[in-house]
Structure 1
Amino acid sequence: MAAHRKLLAVAVTCAAAVIGVAGCSSDGDKDPFDGLSADKIADKASKASKDAGSFTMKGKMKQGGQANDLEFAVAESGDCKGTMGSQKKGVAQFLSVGKTSYVKADDKFWEGQGGSSTAELLKGRWVKSPNKSGDSVCNPDDMFKSDKLKNLKREDDAEVDGKEAAVLTQKKGKETTTFYVAMEGKPYFLKVVNKGSEDPGSIVFSGYGKPVDVKAPPAKEVVDPQKIAAGS
């Protein structure tokens, strides 16, 4: 059963969609990005966000018309932890530590994946699986890439949680992705909004550079994946 892997993949894809910029500070009302193209601003945002090492992200995304809440924190090592889900389909917690991922979910989530027997088997337990790539799935170097941030357009500036932000948009057919980049301090990504795609969503970033502690769960709380198949 690969539900736990899919859950983590969706969360990381949501973060990766936010691709990622060098220190830059504002001076009064002066535009710190004066003379830079939208693509160049995005490059700076990618580098700064990646170089921060750690950060947190919180938001919502839709899958199959169902809204899901998403919140997770990424450590400088690339390890990460978080939650994702909805009241209708259940909520799951996930951890990625080194080369291994773990998922623990409520009864509603597991019942939707394998029925009541699976939910009973996994109640309060973590499901362990190796990361497909062999490395941490939340590596900031992989998440904040700028190679897809091309053909952007700068719009009117806006505010995100009281912080001045440069607004960049990228349009592909009916899909529009809007990136908000901090204009004070380092040019971190503050927010990303996607509309018009199959899986639209909105993510707010914070806590850049602040320590994030991620630990593997105790062995006694981890279920052997082979037992999942036997009980599902």
Structure 2
Amino acid sequence: MLSKRLVSTAAICLALAAGTAACGSATSDGKAGSAQKLDTGKLSAQDIEKQAKEALASATSLKMAGTVDTGDGAMELNLTMDNKSQCTGTMAMPGMGKFEIISDGKTSYVKPDTAFWTAVGGPNGAKAAELFKGRYLTGFESDPSMGSLTKVCNLADFSKKIADGKSSGDKVEKGSAGDVNGVKTFSLKSTDSKGEVTTLQIATEGKPYPVRIEHAGAKDGNGKIDFSEFDKPLTVQVPSADSTIDFTKFKDQLKTA
């Protein structure tokens, strides 16, 4: 049950990206640069969107934080990733607690909290929470039920899904100037054939990274995610060996917990 929940969470994160036009953030230090400015008056909505996608594709790292409606409640995510498939952060699901994710680009680690273990462990939930308390699961990259989780940390895959996610029939319109977390922005609104609306806030100074994306009108997948810390070097500290447990051993121990 644990693997199913984790993979579905990863899928939700990527599904939001796949169903929208683009995502992004401010410059690496959180301040817009002065050498480049988005000419929203002359550019068409399509041109602005194209520049945002190109900016995202060039990013070496980013941080995303926000909430996504899963149908059962709001999922919260706070993840930082780079183009080396390194990442660190947390994800939480309604009524199921939270788990931490760490990846150094080669090996991934997941540490659920007590509430998560209790929720997913079924009859053995309480025992599992105590047995695995404070420990990270690892060694699951080749497991077919868990491998998809590592895609959450793949910036290139994330960027590609965003760039390819919009249907050719979607209507994109220019919005207005705004401000997101101190970054000057300009909005684009994309409406698909189902009436689902994606609003994108794009930085107008410095690289045109989109700094916020909001999705509405869907049965699930609605939500708001902010992007920041673009191109900021990411340093990952992997867990010590004595604080990890191999995924295969974990499955065996959970059966007898």
Q: What is the TM-score with the length of structure 1 in the denominator?
A: 0.85
Unaligned runs of 5+ in 2: 25-32
Shift of the 112–102 alpha-carbon distance from structure 1 to 2, 3 Å rule, reads same
Residue deviations 1:13-51, cap 9 Å, x none? Answer: 445556349x9723xxxx613332222211211111231
Q: Is the 8 A contact 1:11 1:84 kept in 2?
A: no
Structure with more relative contact order (C-alpha pairs < 8 Å, separation 6 or more): 2
Deviations 1:158-204 (A, max 9, x none): 22123221111111213111111111111001000011221211001
Match of 2:12 among 10, 13, 16: 10
Residue aligning to 1:127: 137
Output aligned runs, 1:1-232, within 5 Å.
1-2=2-3, 3-14=5-16, 19-20=22-23, 25-26=36-37, 32-85=39-92, 88-114=95-121, 115-128=125-138, 129-130=140-141, 132=147, 137-145=152-160, 146-149=163-166, 150=168, 151-172=171-192, 173-197=194-218, 198-230=220-252, 231-232=254-255
> Which secondary structure state, in structure 2, belongs to the residue aligned with residue 70 of structure 1?
strand
Q: Does the aligned pair in 1 maintain the 2:173–2:188 contact within 8 Å?
A: yes
Contact 2:186 2:203 in 1 (8 A): yes
CA contact (8 A) 2:12 2:221 kept: no
- Give the partner amino acid of 2:164: D
Aligned length: 227
* Partner SS for 1:130: coil
Structure with the higher helix share, 1 or 2: 2
Structure 1 residues 11 and 154: CA distance shift in structure 2, 3 A: same
CA RMSD of aligned residues (A): 2.6
Change (3 A) 1:86 1:4: closer
Query: In structure 1, what is the Cα distance between the partners aligned to 2:148 and 2:72?
Result: 29
Amino acid at match of 1:25: Q
Q: What's the TM-score once normalised by structure 2's chain length?
A: 0.77
CA drift at 1:68:
2.3
* Residues in 2 aligned to 1:226 and 1:175: alpha-carbon distance in whole angstroms: 41
Distance in 1 of aligned mates of 2:88 and 2:15: 15
How far did residue 153 of structure 1 move? 1.3
For 2:8 and 2:72, the matched residues in 1 are separated by 17
* Residues 1:13 and 1:214: Cα distance change in structure 2 (over 3 Å): farther
**Sequence identity percentage:** 32
Local SS of the residue matching 1:56 = strand
What is the alpha-carbon distance in structure 2 between the residues aligned to residue 75 and residue 42 of structure 1? Answer: 22
Residue 153 of structure 2 aligns to a residue whose secondary structure is coil
Q: Distance in 1 between matches of 2:110 and 2:10?
A: 8
Rounded to whole Å, the distance in 1 between the matches of 2:67 and 2:240 is 30
Q: Runs of 5+ in structure 1 lacking a partner?
A: none
Work out whether residues 6 and 149 of structure 2, in 8 Å CA contact, stay in contact via their aligned partners in 1.
no
Indicate if the aligned counterparts of 2:13 and 2:152 stay in contact, CA closer than 8 A: no
Aligned residue type for 1:199: G
Whole-Å separation in 2 of the counterparts to 1:7 and 1:39: 31
Q: What is the distance in 1 between the residues matched to 2:110 and 2:87?
A: 12
